[in-house]
Structure 1
Amino acid sequence: DSVTSIGGGAFSDCKSLRSITIPDGVTSIGSWAFWGCWYLRSITIPDSVTSIGDSAFSGCSSLQNITIPASMTSIGDRAFFKCSSLQSIAIPDSVTSIGDRAFAGCSSLQNETKQEIRRRFGAGIV
C-alpha cells in the first residue's frame, strides 16, 4: 500500500522538521498537516497533489519558497497564514479556489505576487 494523503495534523508542531519531500502518489495535504513547523524551510510537492487543506502550513515561519504543482486545484483557508519568510509563490492556472486569508501574514511576499493573487482571487486572500 502507498500513501495517498498527508492526514490532518500529521506533522503539526514538529519543531525538528527542516525540509520535506512529499512522495509521488499523494493527492492531498490535510488541514493543519504542518502547522507550527517553525523551522521548515523547504517543501517539495509532487504533481499528484490536487489540494492543500485549511491551515496546512500555517505558522511555518521559516518557509521561504514553494512551488505549487500544475495539478493543484484548491488551497484552503489560512493554508500559508503567517509564513513570514515566504518570498515567492507561483500559483498555476489550475488553481480555481483559494480560501480566506490563505496568504495573510506573509510579510516577506513580493508585492508583484500579492498583486497577482489579489487580481485573480480577491483582496481577502493576502
Structure 2
Amino acid sequence: MPLALASGLDALAALAHLACIVLGAPAYRVMGAGERMARAAQAGRWPPTLITLAIAAGLFVMAFYAGAAAAQRPPLPWQRMLLLTFAAVLLIRAMAFPWLKPMFPDNSARFWWVSSGICMVMALAHGWGAWRLY
C-alpha cells in the first residue's frame, strides 16, 4: 500500500512538471518556480525545459520502481537500495528548504512550503514501503 501511494504521488509530480513545460510560463508561475524561471520559459530558453524534464524523468523512474515493488514483481536491479535512496533524497529535500531557499530567491514561500510538504509525504511513503518490503 505505501509503495503504491508513493508510485502514484511520483507519477502525479512528474506529470505536474511536464504540464509546466506544455503550459509554459503561466504554469511555472502557478507552481511557484520563480519569475526568473517563468521569464526564461516565456523567452523560449532551454534551461527551464531541461531542468523540468530531468526532474520529471527522475520522478517517473521513482514511480516505476515503487510501482514494481508494490505489485510484488520480481525485484528490479538495485531495487532495495534505490527505494531507500529515493526516500532519503526526498526527506533531505523536504527538510533542507530553509538552506535551499536563499539559493533560489525567486521561488515563492508557497512553493517552498507546498513542495517540501509533498516531498515529506513522498519520503514517508517510500521509506515506509521499503521498510515493509524488506
Q: TM-score, normalised by structure 1?
A: 0.26
Structure with the bigger percentage of helix: 2
Q: TM-score, normalised by structure 2?
A: 0.24
Q: Which has the higher contact order (CA 8 A, sep 6+)?
A: 2
More strand by share: 1
